Structure 1
Amino acid sequence: MRIALFEPEIAGNVGAVLRLGACLGAAVDLIEPMGFEWDDRRVRRTAMDYIDHVTVTRHAGFDAFRATIGASRLLLFTTKGSHSAYEFAFRDDDILLFGKESAGVPPVVADGCDARLRIPIRAQVRSMNLATSAALALGEALRQTASLPD
């Protein structure tokens, strides 16, 4: 299972997702451009020493990333999703895609996904933090596929 971040803007969020990937065994794809320099100290500080335990692949853009996914399903997590992540049947080769913090993904990217999923939240609030959303989504996907580490 992989986590993909589309044009992430906040170094700390990327660091937290890298740490998540390291802990739960998920590779992380970063779709550029990013809103910070890759060598930003905030990435390493948030990921701490876990960054050496996760497979990270950087892609020059969405098309370059899309060319790497093979037969895996690309699942977009969005507040505009039509299906709850808790009612969706995950597969162990799924790729969980998250949009940039300020704007999500453009329609052309959303249209290229196999499903649009949402994490149910209270109506009074707009959205969750990117890293928190990734953790909830990955945890549910791994739970369903029995792929959680021992």
Structure 2
Amino acid sequence: MLNIVLHEPEIPANTGNIGRTCVAAGARLHLIEPLGFRLDEKSLKRAGMDYWKDLDVTTYIDYRDFLEKNPGAKIYMATTKAPRVYTDVRYEPDCYIMFGKESAGIPEEILVEHQDTCVRIPMMGQIRSLNLGNSVAIVLYEALRQNGFAELNREGHLHRLSWEK
């Protein structure tokens, strides 16, 4: 099972949206405090819709607490400061993909410790970053693709509408 880690997320709607994406993708969500909201906030639940109850989510007091409770975790750091693109690495089925808070990203001191696993999403010119929810979806679904979309529904079925007869 893949793991999405949000380091000090600030916007409840983004985290709710990411939670919904994690449920759809069969991924766990890890939230490193401090959070810019309370987990019972209405906007968080609204963005996560009725999926929030199905979410496998764990919170941590701080980054050190996260590391202590996930020893030996392979962690990829999504950052605009990375020298390589997110499609250039091979994501293990149980890896962790970390994203930083909306206003500042992952702290530099953490990135320096994980330089070899930093990845970026290519963007035009001087664009600072994408929306956090979009960034998570892009990288998470690449990791899922690389792992054969294990256990995910890979096909849908169209039903002929009654008025088309």
Q: In which range does the TM-score fall when normalised by the shorter chain? A: over 0.9
Instruction: Name which of structure 1's ranges 51-60 and 140-149 shifts more when overlaid on structure 2.
Output: 140-149
Once superposed, which parts of structure 1, at least 4 consecutive aligned residues long, lie more than 3 Å away? none
Distance 1:69 1:95 in 2: 10
The equivalent of 1:5 in structure 2 is: 6
Give 1:55-134 correspondences, 5 Å limit.
55-113=56-114, 115-134=117-136
Q: Is the 8 A contact 1:3 1:95 kept in 2?
A: yes
Instruction: Name which of structure 1's ranges 15-24 and 116-125 shifts more when overlaid on structure 2.
Output: 116-125
**Paired residue type of 1:25:** G
CA RMSD of aligned residues (A): 1.2
Aligned residues: 150
Instruction: Name which of structure 1's ranges 68-77 and 98-107 shifts more when overlaid on structure 2.
Output: 68-77
Distance 1:20 1:70 in 2: 25
The equivalent of 1:143 in structure 2 is: 145
Distance 2:55 2:138 in 1: 18
Q: 1:63 Cα shift?
A: 0.4
Distance 2:146 2:72 in 1: 20
Q: 1:112 Cα shift?
A: 3.2
**Paired residue type of 1:118:** R
Structure 2 unpaired stretches of 5+: 154-165
With normalisation by structure 2, the TM-score equals 0.87
Q: 1:147 Cα shift?
A: 3.5
Structure 1 unpaired stretches of 5+: none
Q: 1:140 Cα shift?
A: 0.2
The equivalent of 1:18 in structure 2 is: 19
Q: 1:47 Cα shift?
A: 0.2
Distance 2:57 2:95 in 1: 16
Look up the SS of the partner of 1:42 in the other structure. helix
Deviations 1:57-94 (A, max 9, x none): 01000000111223321110000111101111111111
Look up the SS of the partner of 2:69 in the other structure. coil
Of structures 1 and 2, the larger Rg is shown by 2
Q: Would you say 1:45 and 2:36 are equivalent positions? A: no
Q: 1:32 Cα shift?
A: 0.2
Distance 2:126 2:113 in 1: 30
Q: Is the 8 A contact 1:92 1:147 kept in 2?
A: no
